[in-house]
Amino acid sequence: MTSRPRSRKPSDALARYRVTEGRGFRLADHDPAGRGHTGLTKKTAPDLLARGTQRLAELQDMLYAQNRWAVLCLFQAMDAAGKDGTIKHVFSGVNPQGCQVTSFKAPTSTELGQDFLRRHMLALPARGMIGIHNRSWYEEVLVVRQHPDILARQQLPERVVSPRIWRERLEDITAHERYLARQGVVILKFFLNVSREEQRARFLKRLEEPEKHWKFRPEDVSERRHWDAYMHAYQQAIRATAAPHAPWYIVPADRKWLTRAVVVSAIVEALEGLGLRYPVVDDAERAAFAEARAALE
């Protein structure tokens, strides 16, 4: 049976974004602008984000001190959806000693010759740590699925490369996430759901502002031609891998203030469900502390 954090009533505000059962999931049912979110506006969102980051810092301190659970946050999105900015703002108050961020770029030639999970496994957080993966093992059923040349460079035996490979990789990812949950890793998966129109506007802004030119790559435009295929691939991935121990959050990304508020709320809710506390010393340790105090005084 998969290990799970201590249950607490899920937030009604987050229920619309959380997916724990993939059967019947439709990406089209989720509005990239998040219209209809009650109780939160652009004016009130900064205060919620500030309170959320403060609470996250408190919980992360206890997570680190207790040293039992590990937390893994996966961020997936189309280009310009705001992954970098979301990570920057949500984790702004976290102690760097208890947090590690890994941004996965195109695999190296060495990594292409290894199994697709290996480089991600090497970056898993230790107990007491929060691990943040900017892109993840899901790239293998998203980007690689759209670009057969990448799959060809992975040097796989011909007999294992079949039309079933994407389903099989999703099965492998599902099994891997189940294994991690059984080892005390809390998995939170965020898909920042940006619309094609908003992506276009953000690309144009990057081209218009010299200080943002570094963010733009000509390949970003060519990837837009695969938009529908990517949406289908995301939908298939979420359907296959959403589970109570590894939920997906379909986060509206057209409005950045809403994106950040939803993400920080989801992480805080998950951590609060762990029953975190600072370690309690026993009688022998208290006696030793008393001796140390007497010596210091």
**Residue 1: predicted pLDDT:** 43
**Other CB atoms within 10 Å distance of the CB of residue 162:** 10
**Residue 7: predicted pLDDT:** 45
Q: Are 30 and 250 in contact (CB under 8 A)?
A: yes
* pLDDT tens profile 192-209: 999 999 999 999 999 998
Cα angle, residue 16 at apex, residues 29 and 257 outer, rounded to 5°: 95
**Residue 253: predicted pLDDT:** 98
Question: Alpha-carbon distance 181 to 2, whole Å?
Answer: 6
Amino acid at 286: R
Q: Are 72 and 188 in contact (CB under 8 A)?
A: yes
**Residue 11: predicted pLDDT:** 60
**Residue 218: predicted pLDDT:** 83
**Other CB atoms within 10 Å distance of the CB of residue 104:** 15
**Residue 209: predicted pLDDT:** 87
**Other CB atoms within 10 Å distance of the CB of residue 134:** 18
Instruction: Indicate the SS3 state at residue 183.
Output: coil
In terms of pTM, does the model score above 0.95?
no
**Residue 16: predicted pLDDT:** 92
Task: State the burial class of residue 176 (Cβ atoms within 10 Å of its Cβ: 0-12, 13-18, 19+).
Answer: middle
171: tokens are 């099965």
Q: Are 250 and 191 in contact (CB under 8 A)?
A: yes
Sign of the alpha-carbon dihedral angle for 255, 73, 78, 12: negative
Which domains are delineated in the chain?
12-296 (3.40.50.300)
CA 130 to chain centre: 11
Question: Alpha-carbon distance 271 to 69, whole Å?
Answer: 10
* pLDDT tens profile 42-86: 999 999 999 999 999 999 999 999 999 999 999 999 999 999 999
Residues 6 or more apart whose CB falls under 8 angstroms from that of 102 comprise 123, 131, 132, 133, 134
97: tokens are 């000693």
Q: Are 72 and 124 in contact (CB under 8 A)?
A: yes
14: tokens are 């987050």
β-partners of residue 72 are 131, 187
- Segments in the chain below pLDDT 50: 1-7
